[in-house]
Amino acid sequence: MKERPSVSVLFEPIARAHVDLAGATAVVIDAIRATTTIVAALAAGCHEVRTFRTPEEVLAEAGRRPAGTVVTAGERNGVRIEGLDLNNSPSVMTPDRIGGRTLLLTTTNGTVAIHDALPAHTILIAAMPNRRAIAGRILAIGRRVVFVSAGTVGTVSCEDTLVAGAVIAAMIDVPARSGGSSTWHLEDSARVALAAWRGSADCLGQTFRETRGGRATAQLDLDADLAVCSQVDTMDVVPVVQGDPPVITAD
């Protein structure tokens, strides 16, 4: 019998150093807000997203591009970085602002997680709005899956865990409805994420608002961002990361 590919979740940033991502499909999640911002930007017609570790790298890259072809965005601790065009806000990723342009992005947690996932064979970007699209792509690839949570300042992020669980639920829904056996071997971490999703799916908006990241976002008067981050299956976009430095496009 063919061994089923495993599914696991890295809840904390420190866990990334202890997992070999070679050959795996890494699914990066920073639900509030970076990966939702990336998904929203590509859904709005953004040409590509390029992520950077520092604001200085963003500004240097912007200086090398023709005027009007890029938009810079980023935050530290939720606050827009001075000198950049936009905050790390999914609610402002509209076609008039970002359509046809390249987004240059740096964030506190999410872009770091993307860079840490680069050893993986395939890297996808997930959020609540595109969770079913991501699940479909994972099923098509059929390879070991590692969900890479950005976390919140080095700690576990409830919202990232919920997105991982939501994607896992969508992954196992197809075999369950067809009456076949499960395609995947869920590691304990994946079962924890799945249980968290099943316990919170009916009150997702409230749960997101009550997390550490959600409270901080609400305190910054970014309720519109929270609303986008907690929407489920509203964007049919599969962001794929390639190269180093990372370039993210809708595939």
What pLDDT sits at residue 247? Answer: 98
> Taking the CA atoms of the chain, what radius of gyration do you get in angstroms?
17
CA distance 157 to 110: 12
Where exactly are the structural domains of the chain? Answer: 6-250
Q: Kindly report the backbone phi and psi dihedral angles of residue 111, in degrees, each rounded to the nearest multiple of 5, phi listed first.
A: -70, -30
What pLDDT sits at residue 3? Answer: 85
For the stretch 189-218, pLDDT in tens is 999 999 999 999 999 999 999 999 999 999
User: pLDDT-derived band of residue 98, with 50, 70 and 90 as boundaries?
Assistant: very high
For the stretch 23-35, pLDDT in tens is 999 999 999 999 9
For the stretch 3-21, pLDDT in tens is 899 999 999 999 999 999 9
Instruction: Please report, rounded to a whole number, the percentage of residues in the chain having pLDDT higher than 70.
Output: 96
CA distance 161 to 32: 11
| Third-level CATH fold of 6-250 | putative 2-phosphosulfolactate phosphatase (3.90.1560)
CA distance 119 to 52: 16
CA distance 111 to 227: 21
**CB-count burial class (<10 Å; 0-12, 13-18, 19+) for 5:** middle
For the stretch 143-182, pLDDT in tens is 999 999 999 888 999 999 999 999 999 999 865 555 444 7
At 1, which helix (H) or strand (E)? none
